[in-house]
Amino acid sequence: MTDAGASAIVVAPHADGRRVAETAPPRVLVVVPALNEAGSIAGVVAAVLRDLPTARVLVVDDSSTDGTGRRARLAGATVARLPYRLGVGGAMRTGYRYAVTHGYDVVVQVDGDGQHDTRHLPELLAALGAADLVIGARFAGTDPYAVGRARRSVMRLLAVVLSRIVGTRLTDVTSGYRALGPRAVRVFAENYPAEYLGDTLEALVIARRCGLTVAQVPVRMNAREHGRPSQGVIGSVLYLSRALAAILLGLVRRWSVPATEEGAG
């Protein structure tokens, strides 16, 4: 963890002696929350570095017991091992704080189970030019991502609710495949819910309430190859009630917009 802080703007000497501001390419941190993903983590890290060679990869290892952290490090990632389990939200909060502390402009969240196709990473980053937060969305294009009927209905309903709140049409609000620009990174470094579903649904409500703009790009997602999925199709009603609770929390809690922000609020 030796990255020096850096600004997005550099002052470069001009040919005629003037000094002009030029925009440097953004420093990108890919954060991978991981719990017992030894079977897939090395492949994920390698794929990210292949598709985004200038990015750094931070794997937030939530006290895995299967050697996930060691494999991630060998594959070229920086690894933050949490002393006790904080869940995906806690892991991502760690990632955003790391990004701010180490001067990264952009954070991309990629799952450690290989479901997120990293070939879409450049498209997610390109879309950040017009939005603060970009979701890599299933169901937005022709990708026939397979989920059960009950879970899919719940996801559709949540997409309708969140689209209204956020003010733009979204099709996949539970996707963890997301890219965030500098304003969003600063907001989430200060406000990021650690509770179940907070990291996906409540985070979108926070984005809206803090004046961030949200967009989506269609992506393909792969089926899980290793490890255990975190939830099955059963329990969709319970899932929906917890999801609505997360959205409600996002609407009623107080969120702070970083003081240095222009235009947010």
Q: Closest distance between Mg ion and the C-beta of residue 229, in Å?
A: 6
By CB under 6 A, residue 115 contacts ligand GTP: yes
Nearer of residues 112 and 193 to Mg ion, judged by Cβ: 112
What is the distance between the alpha carbons of residues 72 and 142, in angstroms, rounded to a whole number? 32
By CB under 6 A, residue 112 contacts ligand GTP: yes
Q: Which residues of 173-209 are buried (b: 16+ CB within 10 A; e: fewer)?
A: bbbbbbbbbbbbbbbbbbbbbeebbbbbbbbbbbbbb
Closest CA to 135 of 151, 149, 123, 150: 123
**How many chain residues bind ligand GTP (CB under 6 A)?**
19
Sign of the Cα pseudo-torsion (203, 227, 121, 103, in order) = positive
Contact 47, 118 (CB under 8 A): yes
Task: Tell me the sheet residues that pair with 32.
Answer: 59
Q: Closest distance between ligand GTP and the C-beta of residue 71, in Å?
A: 13
Nearer of residues 155 and 210 to ligand GTP, judged by Cβ: 155
Q: Which does 221 bind (CB under 5 to 8 A by kind): ligand GTP, Mg ion, none?
A: none
Q: Residues 190 to 229: which contact ligand GTP by CB under 6 A?
A: 224, 229
Contact letters for ligand GTP, residues 17-56 (x by CB under 6 A): ----------------xxx-x-------------------
What is the distance between the alpha carbons of residues 94 and 117, in angstroms, rounded to a whole number? 23
* Residues near 227 by beta carbon (within 8 Å), at least 6 away in sequence: 36, 37, 39, 40, 113
Q: Which does 134 bind (CB under 5 to 8 A by kind): ligand GTP, Mg ion, none?
A: none
Q: Closest distance between ligand GTP and the C-beta of residue 174, in Å?
A: 7
Nearer of residues 105 and 172 to Mg ion, judged by Cβ: 172
What is the distance between the alpha carbons of residues 163 and 123, in angstroms, rounded to a whole number? 21
Nearer of residues 112 and 136 to ligand GTP, judged by Cβ: 112
The encoded tokens of residue 259 equal 């003081």
Q: Residues 136 to 165: which contact ligand GTP by CB under 6 A?
A: none
Of 113, 132, 172, 202, the one binding ligand GTP by CB under 6 A: 113
Q: Which does 62 bind (CB under 5 to 8 A by kind): Mg ion, ligand GTP, none?
A: ligand GTP
Q: Closest distance between ligand GTP and the C-beta of residue 16, in Å?
A: 51
Q: Closest distance between ligand GTP and the C-beta of residue 82, in Å?
A: 7
Per CB under 6 A, residues contacting ligand GTP are 33-35, 37, 60, 62, 85, 87-88, 91, 111-113, 115, 176, 224, 229-231
